Amino acid sequence: MKENEFDFDMKVKLIHGFSNKTRLQILESIKDQEKTVSQIVEEINGNQSNISQHLACLKGCGIIAGRNEGKYCYYSLRNQHIKDLLTMFDVVLEDVQNDVACCERHID
């Protein structure tokens, strides 16, 4: 495998972490403040099992961090770069949203 192919594979894995509506909702939920699973579930109106699976994905990819305190685990964005990336998604989307809305080549 060429070095470039490895880089692309790693980028695809990273971007996959952001490519799900529930995961994006979780990330937006903890963008400015760490939260417990229960707080996230309540805020995005999800189901705990599903949210926990997505949190495990995000944590496994290194996008978020978990901190245990007593019987609770608090989740937060891993670092400022992740927060900046979420903000940049919004900036770029604002610029291209009409094209995205009209795109007929979107593949789920």
- Mean pLDDT rounded to a whole number for the chain: 92
Q: What percent of the chain has pLDDT over 90?
A: 78
How many separate domains does the chain show?
1
In a domain, 13, yes or no: yes
In a domain, 108, yes or no: no
Q: Domain range spanning residue 8?
A: 3-102
Residue pLDDT, tens place only, 28-77? 999 999 999 999 999 999 999 999 999 999 999 999 999 999 999 999 99
CA distances from 101 to 45, 94, 96, 97, 108 (A): 25, 11, 9, 6, 14
Residue with tokens 């699976």: 53
pLDDT band at 105 (very low <50, low <70, confident <90, very high): confident
pLDDT band at 101 (very low <50, low <70, confident <90, very high): confident
CATH number at residue 8: 1.10.10.10
